Amino acid sequence: MIDDADSDISAPPPPPTDGPPPRRPRVRKRRLLLVLVPLALLAVVSTLFGMMMAVASDLPDLESAKEFQSARNSQLTDRLGRPLGMLTGANNRVIVSETDISPFMRNAIISVEDERFFENSGVDLKGIGRAFVQDVVRGGSRQGGSTITQQFVKNALQAQDQRTVLQKLEESALAYHLTRRWSKSKILTEYLNSIYFGNGAYGVESAARVYFAADPNHLGCGTRARPCAKELSAAESALLAAVVANPTAFDPVAHPESALRRRNMVLGKMRAQGRITQSEFQDAVEQALPGKIVPPGVDTKAPYFTTWVSQQLVEHFGARRAFEGGLKVRTTLDLDLQQAAERAVAASLPDPNGPSAAMVVIDNKTGEVRALVGGDDFRTRPFNLATQGQRQPGSTVKPFILAEALHQGYGLGSVWPSRKRVFNVPGTGGKEKFVVNNFDDAYAGARNLGTALTYSDNAVYAAAGIKTGTQRIAELIRSMGVRSPVSANPAMTLGAFQQGVSVLDWAHAYESFATGGKRISGTLGAPNEGPVGVREVRRLGSNDLIARNRVRSRRVLSERLAALTTGQMQTVVSYGTGKRAGYGGFAAGKTGTTEDYGDAWFVGFTRELTIAVWVGYPDKLVPMKTEFDGEPVAGGTFPAQIWHDFVVQAKAIFRQRIAEREALRTGQAAPQGEDPAAQLDGNGDTTSQQDGSAGQDTTTPDQGTGGGQDTGTPQKDTGGISAPD
């Protein structure tokens, strides 16, 4: 039977019948919904947009000069509320005119952020639609795709953390009006003067000075007569435009490979859009990234730590609010432990012309950074060795090899050859060899896997790593806390990665051993489940709570494997290569020394803290063959010694705090500077009872290496310092 709707229109009508009238064609409900729902959504959006247009007549004055009048620097305290310093973003911003900004810079930011900037009306309807779907349908909260005008309005409204559909509509209405009041050139100039470029650079002129003022081609720039932003080349402009999307991930110092890829992507867009010529493109992609940056001055007691924390605040709250929003930020830093770390480094390395040290101290229970030494002097050397430096980890990689080997069934007692080894490099058909020698060519003939860790036997661990699988080891290291790429080359079994690791991430990865196989992070932590630098954020004046960190944990290694590996690392300190780290209490760790004594490490943990210490020359790889009283600097020398000295001081600080807590409990006078009415946690720390937050978070259980599983149980945020061993 052929339906009427599908019949030939030229056919004669059927003869009349005495039966019932023909049925009307059925209208499918789905088709009706497909028509009505979009119309309804369009009506809602149009109504809301119209309302926003009505109030947009009160468009505020958004010029940068006016922004400074209401800006208020955010203040930082340590974890106990003691003043630490302030974020000086507003003081680091320099306003420049349109003629003082390189055309390359203007074209670079347009090409990557809003290629139809000069054609659109300041509004991206597709972006509004995506925001609506994300916020209403999928329950999300942040959506990109804004025009440059919308981004400028968003920054001016300090709305980086309020990416709802209503906020998006308000920004769109204001952006639409703004394009009718200001020229596109003015909007672009104000935008470039207001955005954050990372490393404390707020605005394009500050960014040009931070990243390129040290370049020989720009020496002397940074004055009114000669602004650095005016001299930016195509490659330099593309890099700055690349950084804007994510100042942390595309930091050219901390993540040069990611920054280079992003910069070249921007250059590709500029070329495709006809904003640079082919020859300019070719010249630009061949240029190197800046070799040295000069961040603005930092007004804090711990500048290396606070420059790292400022990046986290920007990630969570946006640049303008972080620097100028009048925030009161309680960080995770403990000033007493910070000073102890600095003393421990200075005692072992007093010579300013000798090796330097980087050091990170993380609380095992919370993932919070308690102390961070990033260099000798921030004023003369602002490069942060602890967070930006990436050095080869040497034999400190061996506990990860051991954990993966145990997971695959090799026991601590499994015996391996201890002799010079030569392995074929995969993929070379035997043409390339990986030659492995032990320190001082000392071999045992054969060693079991456990003893080989104690004495850091390269021959055993190279063989075990290759047999176990370098790719599996690399994946384990990444899962345990290293956020930079980890190579799977055969030499990685001796800690010779194609790209090094930061002291911060290496400490975080070792913390996963200390916690019994759980990776600890937080809601206010560094990106990609990184360590935590912020405890809570309040408003200056009113003290209203804005955000509080909640501890998150995810199982990445079974508890059994973590315990076995930790037990073997204890022998490294007891009678192995890390004996200088021993202080009389619980300690587990591993030494590491790279080829020709270029890098020396000791990374280990007590029951409360994980501490990573790196020693080396900061600017380049220099063999340290005589710096330890005429002897080479290995992981068991300066690094283990610094680790020991810090732990001894930390234990004394803990004992003092326990004594102060006991004095308060028995009714004696409170220690000077403490509030006797405040609640004390297990560390002698004061914790406000306002808001009643438990500082907890529950995460989805995750199957980890070795078959362990996270129960998802929230962890109490007590600071992780218990009675001394």
Tokens 């019994």 locate to 516
The identity of residue 38, as a single letter, is P
Q: What is the pTM of this model?
A: 0.74
Strand partners, 448: 415
Tokens 């495709």 locate to 272
What SS3 string covers 9-64?
A: CCCCCCCCCCCCCCCCCCCCHHHHHHHHHHHHHHHHHHHHHHHHHHHHHHCCCCCH
Residue 678 burial by Cβ neighbours in a 10 Å radius (0-12, 13-18, 19+): middle
- Contact 495/395 with Cβ under 8 angstroms? yes
CA dist 188 and 110 (Å) reads: 9
Other beta carbons within 10 angstroms of residue 90's beta carbon come to 17
- Contact 231/102 with Cβ under 8 angstroms? yes
CATH 1.10.3810.10 fits 91-285, yes or no: yes
Q: Which two tokens stand for residue 366?
A: 């919370």
- Contact 572/591 with Cβ under 8 angstroms? yes
- Contact 190/152 with Cβ under 8 angstroms? yes
Tokens 């080997």 locate to 405
pLDDT at 323: 81
Minimal CA–CA distance to 367: which of 477, 481, 479, 503? 481
pLDDT at 158: 59
- Contact 600/615 with Cβ under 8 angstroms? yes
The identity of residue 301, as a single letter, is K
Other beta carbons within 10 angstroms of residue 445's beta carbon come to 7
- Contact 531/362 with Cβ under 8 angstroms? yes
Size of the chain in residues? 725
pLDDT at 318: 81
Minimal CA–CA distance to 690: which of 522, 535, 545? 545
Q: How far is CA 582 from CA 112, 565, 606, 636, in A?
A: 54, 18, 11, 11
State which residues of the chain have pLDDT below 50: 1-12, 55, 57-58, 90, 138-143, 160-161, 670-725
- Contact 357/375 with Cβ under 8 angstroms? no
pLDDT at 253: 85
Residue 3: phi, psi to the nearest 5?
-70, 150
The identity of residue 193, as a single letter, is N
What torsion, rounded to 10 degrees, do the Cα atoms 209, 376, 252, 279 define? 60
CA dist 139 and 629 (Å) reads: 62
Exposure b/e, 458-476, CB count within 10 A at least 16 = b: bbbbbbbbbebebebbbeb
CA dist 658 and 721 (Å) reads: 10
- Find all residues with CB under 8 Å of 598, minimum gap 6, and list them: 392, 616, 621, 622, 623, 624
